[in-house]
Structure 1
Amino acid sequence: MLTCAQIERLFHQYRDELMRRLRSMVSCRDTAADLMQETFIRLLRVVETQSVEHPRALLHRTATNLAIDYLRTQRNALNVPEQLEASDKDRHTGEAGLGHVQNGSAFRSGT
């Protein structure tokens, strides 16, 4: 089990490399700092119940997973307007949509 002093040493030892990794993944310093903080919070929770043989690996894996989750959430948030647009188009393809197609075909047959 890691002590608070050991965790503090890990923080000082790995914070720069974790920050570089997170910034390269999320492209935002503030978000990377938040994710790094969450990484160490999760480490604190893990050491309460388990022994950690390779803390650097655990920190990197946790940070990477948090960044991936963050990016997935951001991607899903960006897709919501596109999904709403698609459902609006589906809802409005009644007679007006068919009339447009019919007008186009009538125009072609008239020429």
Structure 2
Amino acid sequence: MTSSQRPLTRQVQRLYQEHQRWLLSWLRPRVDCRELAADLVQDVFIRVLSAKDAQNQLEAVREPKGYLATIARRLMIDHFRRARLERAWLQALAEQPEAVSISEETRAILLESLCELDAMLAGLGPNVRQAFLLSQLDGMSYKLIAEQLQVSVVTVTRYIAKATQHCVLFSLGAER
């Protein structure tokens, strides 16, 4: 451990000691599972410790409970989004004929890809996301998308351009 990491480690350790029980009791009724709540608490502190410029971020925190609750809320949303996506995927797989079943490894890779796609599209507004999906998945023309979303074709063109740019930037960020 470098000398620059010691103050950060001490800060996070103190934050953990002072707020871990509170955060656990805050999360437990929201997730309705003691083990999941405990996992999320650990993930919160891992997030705090591994954040970019963590030292300065921690020094800027005025309300530690609010800061920790915000991180926990985001992790909880990510967890529930992933669980919902996984359930939908498993249901779709269950509805497939047996001849189309896939290996566990392929299933895990596809599920991970779906989660990454969901995370990437989560950064888009609802109309932009819907226009992009209608175009890319359903193959709809911009005119039909414009009619469905009740916007102009020019707006749909802007939506698709924005979504494409977002996807490119997201993929470039993921490669780092």
Does the pair score TM above 0.5? Answer: yes
Aligned to 1:65, what secondary structure does the other structure show? Answer: helix
Equivalents in 1 of 2:56, 2:11: separation in Å?
15
How many residues in Structure 1 have an aligned counterpart in Structure 2?
A: 88
Equivalents in 2 of 1:36, 1:26: separation in Å?
12
Report how far residue 49 of structure 1 moved: 6.0
Aligned to 2:14, what secondary structure does the other structure show? Answer: helix
Aligned match for 2:48, one of 35, 43, 50: 43
Larger RCO, structure (CA 8 Å, separation 6 or more):
1
TM-score (norm. length: structure 1): 0.63
Report how far residue 85 of structure 1 moved: 6.0
Equivalents in 1 of 2:76, 2:17: separation in Å?
20
Q: Which residue of 1 aligns with 2:75?
A: 66
**Please, which runs of 5 or more residues in structure 2 have no aligned partner?**
98-176
Report how far residue 81 of structure 1 moved: 3.8
The residue type paired with residue 23 of structure 2 is L
* Divergent runs of 4+, >4 A: 84-88
Report how far residue 50 of structure 1 moved: 3.5
CA RMSD of aligned residues (A): 2.5
Q: 1:86 to 1:41 in 2, by over 3 A?
A: same
Q: Which residue of 2 aligns with 1:75?
A: 84
* Cα deviations by residue, 1:69-88 (Å, 9 ceiling, x for unpaired): 11111112222244346677
Q: Which residue of 2 aligns with 1:15?
A: 20
User: 1:19 touches 1:33 (CA, 8 Å); kept in 2?
Assistant: yes
* Cα deviations by residue, 1:25-83 (Å, 9 ceiling, x for unpaired): 22111111111111101111225463332233221111111011111111122222443
Question: What fraction of aligned residue pairs are identical, expressed as a percent?
Answer: 31
Q: Which residue of 1 aligns with 2:39?
A: 34
Equivalents in 1 of 2:57, 2:90: separation in Å?
45
Aligned to 2:57, what secondary structure does the other structure show? Answer: coil
**Please, which runs of 5 or more residues in structure 1 have no aligned partner?**
89-111
Q: Considering only CA atoms, is the larger Rg found in Structure 1 or Structure 2?
A: 1
